[in-house]
């Protein structure tokens, strides 16, 4: 069974040194797990027994397309009005515990590794039916509709049921678990899982139009972000604006894996601030 990091929260003692790896630049941000403490959580309207670490939101002049949350729902907690924006689509990825996610009243029990895509306007609710907290990632984006292309339908799947696709020439050292067919133009965002075996690497500086959110699920690595090499580990989050150069070297001893958001399959807006 894959272990997904989910142990956030707590508060450091007064005897701790003020030393961390958090950084925010005009090209990227790193939010390490050590700063995702109780004091920075948010309470959300129409959610009960829940707290959220909001680790990305649209910012003019930075990454503009998405919001990303780490959610912790206590036993019996949840929401019957989870999504406030009828134009927003969402992805849910469960890291720990169980969720009863109901779509149009039909139940879907999601456990660790469970993935749901929820199109704009979806009628869904969520409840933690267990006796321990449920922790999951929630990515939200305003859907960019295109005339003549249908809106994608909702679906539920578990990572364990999808075979990773190895990058060409890597002998499986670098692979991607794809939850959506990249050629399906109905989708304007992908949320995938990228995996590196120890010593695996991105051997060039990717520089592209897609914005990224990268939440490290497992392991550690050294990541090249713009001009800087940054050490990251399970529980850290990286936030990259468009065209930020990026590369990676997985340092081991185990696999390095992260949940990756990117915007895809649409023309760039020609008006600043428009999605």
Checking if the pLDDT of 275 tops 60, the result is no
Q: What's the whole-number mean pLDDT along residues 147-164?
A: 98
Of 88, 29, 30, 27, nearest in space to 61 by CA? 27
Q: For residue 20, what pLDDT is reported?
A: 81
DSSP 88-109: EEEEEEEEES-EEEEETTEEEE
Of 231, 218, 155, 220, nearest in space to 191 by CA? 155
Q: For residue 119, what pLDDT is reported?
A: 98
**41 dihedral zone (left: phi>0; alpha: psi -120 to 50; beta):** beta
Q: For residue 115, what pLDDT is reported?
A: 98
Of 138, 40, 145, nearest in space to 82 by CA? 138
Mean pLDDT score of the chain, rounded to an integer?
A: 95
Checking if the pLDDT of 1 tops 80, the result is no
Q: For residue 26, what pLDDT is reported?
A: 96
Q: For residue 11, what pLDDT is reported?
A: 87
Residues near 85 by beta carbon (within 8 Å), at least 6 away in sequence = 140, 142
pLDDT-derived band at 272, boundaries 50, 70, 90: confident
Q: For residue 246, what pLDDT is reported?
A: 98
How do residues 103-153 score in pLDDT, each as one tens digit?
A: 999 999 999 999 999 999 999 999 999 999 999 999 999 999 999 999 999
Q: Which two structure tokens, joined as six digits, stand for 211?
A: 């914005």
Q: Which two structure tokens, joined as six digits, stand for 14?
A: 């007064």
Residues near 181 by beta carbon (within 8 Å), at least 6 away in sequence = none
**pLDDT above 90 as % of the chain:** 89
């Amino acid at each position: 069974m894959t272990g997904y990091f989910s142990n956030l929260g707590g508060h450091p003692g007064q005897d701790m040194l003020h030393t961390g790896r958090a950084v925010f630049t005009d090209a990227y941000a790193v939010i390490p797990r050590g700063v995702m403490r109780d004091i920075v959580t948010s309470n959300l309207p129409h959610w009960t027994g829940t707290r959220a670490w909001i680790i990305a939101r649209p910012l003019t002049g930075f990454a503009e397309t998405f919001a990303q949350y780490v959610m912790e729902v206590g036993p019996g907690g949840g929401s019957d009005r989870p999504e406030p924006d009828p134009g927003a689509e969402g992805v849910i990825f469960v890291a720990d515990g169980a969720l009863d996610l109901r779509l149009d009243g039909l139940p879907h029990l999601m456990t660790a590794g469970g993935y749901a895509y929820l199109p704009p306007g979806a009628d869904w609710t969520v409840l933690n039916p267990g006796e321990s907290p449920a922790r999951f990632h929630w990515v939200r984006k305003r859907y960019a509709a295109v005339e003549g292309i249908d809106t994608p339908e909702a679906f539920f799947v578990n990572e364990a049921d999808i075979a990773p696709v190895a990058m060409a020439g890597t002998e499986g050292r670098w692979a991607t678990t794809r939850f959506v067919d990249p050629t399906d133009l109905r989708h304007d965002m992908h949320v995938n899982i990228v995996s590196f075996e120890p010593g695996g690497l991105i051997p060039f500086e990717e520089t592209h139009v897609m914005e990224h959110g990268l939440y490290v699920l497992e392991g550690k690595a050294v990541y090249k972000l713009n001009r800087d090499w940054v050490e990251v580990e399970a529980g850290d989050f990286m936030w990259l604006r468009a065209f930020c150069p990026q590369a990676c070297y997985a340092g081991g001893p185990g696999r390095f894996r992260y949940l990756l958001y990117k915007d895809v399959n649409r023309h760039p807006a020609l008006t600043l601030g428009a999605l």
